[in-house]
Structure 1
Amino acid sequence: MNIAVNAAERLRLEAAIEPDPVATGPVTKETQIIAIYGKGGSGKSFALSNLSYMLAQQGKRVLLIGCDPKSDTTSLLFGGKSCPTIIETSSRKKLAGEEVRIEDVCFKRDGVFAMELGGPEVGRGCGGRGIIHGFELLEKLGFHEWGFDYVLLDFLGDVVCGGFGLPIARDMCQKVIVVGSNDLQSLYVANNVCSAVEYFRKLGGNVGVAGMVINKDDGTGEAQAFAEAVGIPVLAAIPADEDIRRKSANYQIIGIPGGRWAGLFEELATNVAEAPPVRPRPLSSEGLLGLFAGDQTGAGVVLQPASQADMRGAEFVVPRTLEVVYDAV
């Protein structure tokens, strides 16, 4: 019983300690660090797993880091198997009085190195704070001394959270890629990411947007129109195809040289490597809605102000005030 109480107390004391600042110095290796953002369910993990696999098959050294609390970035790469997360492993090792080693948290498949930062248990912490703690541990493991051609970071698009906005706010990456589809919600998130990039550029930041990956493209064109409106290129358009959907659901990599979809991911790999970071032109809410027909979004709805009588469901008489009003002298 005392052991459990002491362990709980140690965890409470640890949680009260603010993490060390993440290093913001220059990267010593010629490494492209790219943060990929998208709405949950937009297919960014699918695109990243296949992109990283294709890059590795082209002879590049690639590190894929899942920074989504769902910890599902690497599941496709490893055939549905879950990686032990950095945060989970760190907590377990600390309780045992042991240090985290790279072989505890990083795993390989066909030339791709991959790991998951993870997040707190449901209802027990902030996902963004978990990201900050995860990167603090990566610093201790030698993140800036690792020798990779590409480091791909899979981030949830909720950049209003400091943890998820970390790569943009602290220049931890050179460029950002957004993933979206022809739907308003995924483009809303992509627009928020562009807004965050532009905000920090005005504060002296250097991160830019390299482009957009359109996933589940059904040909309706809203995502393409969004990219043109904000001034970023489309790096690839992955079609809404039954073969892709089925293989993705079965945790199969499709970005394989010589395969049916090889050309698509070879083009994506080339564009990701060569696309320069640019300053986007984020859209207003009205501009974003304007990409869609009114019957799809309800854009024709007019805001009607409510009254006090409406709120009460009965007639409302303004009460007399006790304020003393003096006549002008």
Structure 2
Amino acid sequence: TTSLLFGGKACPTIIETSSRKKLAGEAVSISDVCFKRDGVYAMELGGPEVGRGCGGRGIIHGFETLEKLGFHDWGFDYVLLDFLGDVVCGGFGLPIARDMCQKVIVVGSNDLQSLYVANNVCSAVEYFRKLGGNVGVAGMVINKDDGTGEAQAFARNAGIPVLAAIPAHEDIRRKSASYEIIGKPDGEWGALFAELAQNVADAPPVRPKPQTQDQLLGLFSAETTGRDFVMEPATMFDMVGKEELVKPTLEVVYDAV
């Protein structure tokens, strides 16, 4: 998201900058990690090096840095946090767990894996609401919408509104791939994104109804999921190619005195 905003340039990450400053014995300042364009301010949280750390831990460290930089006192109209939907990890669920956001927007498309992740987000919101949290789901943005309707059905079943449906259009794909801003006010998609922005601002946070795995599968046709299939238990013969050999136990049993 930040690379697209800055014309394809990589924004220095908070985690990398923090590590570098710490080694030099210096404190991180806003100007080290926050950059702006056309009235929009952006920062890139970043993550640990591949194979050397947990992404969730990186997020926790990043938020600790943001809090030291006065995160709770910033005077912006809106603060958008863009996260992966892997909220089964405590780090990714941090903004929900700590009530650091007011409402969550799920982004998904018409495929099972995408909706599975969207459902995980709804489950996390409901879990923390039961623990006394105040965060709710404002709605869903359907991305790469091909008109098949599974994402709309999920949103309806989960009790959340559809804030916008971004079509699977070649012009959008091409502009996104080349780091062009798609929703310019005077462009072809300006009205669509203006409506999305207004809906995001107006939509109240609601408690979602997370779906079970079978309910998610029910959004797709039987031809897709093989729903009429009956599971057959495997046997030891299947696993090793021969009948199971029953060996006597080597456990020593002592007679009661």
Q: TM-score, normalised by structure 2?
A: 0.95
What code does the residue aligned with 1:232 have? I
Cα shift at 1:302 = 2.5
Instruction: Specify the alignment match of 1:156 in structure 2.
Output: 84
Matches within 5 A, 1:97-136: 97-136=25-64
CA distance in 1, matches of 2:116, 2:229: 19
Deviations 1:96-135 (A, max 9, x none): 1111111111111111100011111111111111111111
CA distance in 1, matches of 2:74, 2:211: 38
What code does the residue aligned with 1:299 have? R
2:3 equivalent among 75, 96, 102 = 75
% identical aligned pairs: 82
Task: Return the structure number with greater relative CO, CA threshold 8 A, min gap 6.
Answer: 1
Cα shift at 1:146 = 0.9
Instruction: Specify the alignment match of 2:190 in structure 1.
Output: 262
| Runs ≥4 residues deviating over 6 A | none
Matches within 5 A, 1:1-329: 73-321=1-249
Cα shift at 1:317 = 4.0
CA distance in 2, matches of 1:170, 1:303: 42
CA distance in 2, matches of 1:120, 1:320: 51
What code does the residue aligned with 1:168 have? I
Q: Which runs of 5+ in 1 are unaligned?
A: 1-72
What code does the residue aligned with 2:87 have? V
CA distance in 2, matches of 1:283, 1:248: 31
CA distance in 2, matches of 1:133, 1:259: 39
Deviations 1:190-244 (A, max 9, x none): 0011011111111111111000000000000000000000000000000000111
Cα shift at 1:320 = 4.2
What code does the residue aligned with 2:117 have? V
**Structure 1 pair 312–223 and aligned structure 2 pair: CA distance change class (3 A):** same
CA distance in 1, matches of 2:132, 2:218: 31
CA distance in 1, matches of 2:40, 2:225: 41
Q: SS where residue 179 of structure 1 aligns?
A: strand
Q: SS where residue 101 of structure 2 aligns?
A: coil
Instruction: Specify the alignment match of 1:9 in structure 2.
Output: none
Cα shift at 1:322 = 6.8
- Number of residue pairs matched? 253
Q: SS where residue 134 of structure 2 aligns?
A: coil
CA distance in 2, matches of 1:87, 1:300: 49
Q: Which runs of 5+ in 2 are unaligned?
A: none
CA distance in 1, matches of 2:250, 2:13: 63
CA distance in 2, matches of 1:300, 1:79: 49
What code does the residue aligned with 1:194 have? C
What code does the residue aligned with 1:126 have? C
| RMSD across aligned positions (CA) | 1.4
What code does the residue aligned with 1:228 have? R
What code does the residue aligned with 1:83 have? C
Cα shift at 1:287 = 0.3
What code does the residue aligned with 2:212 have? S
Q: TM-score, normalised by structure 1?
A: 0.74
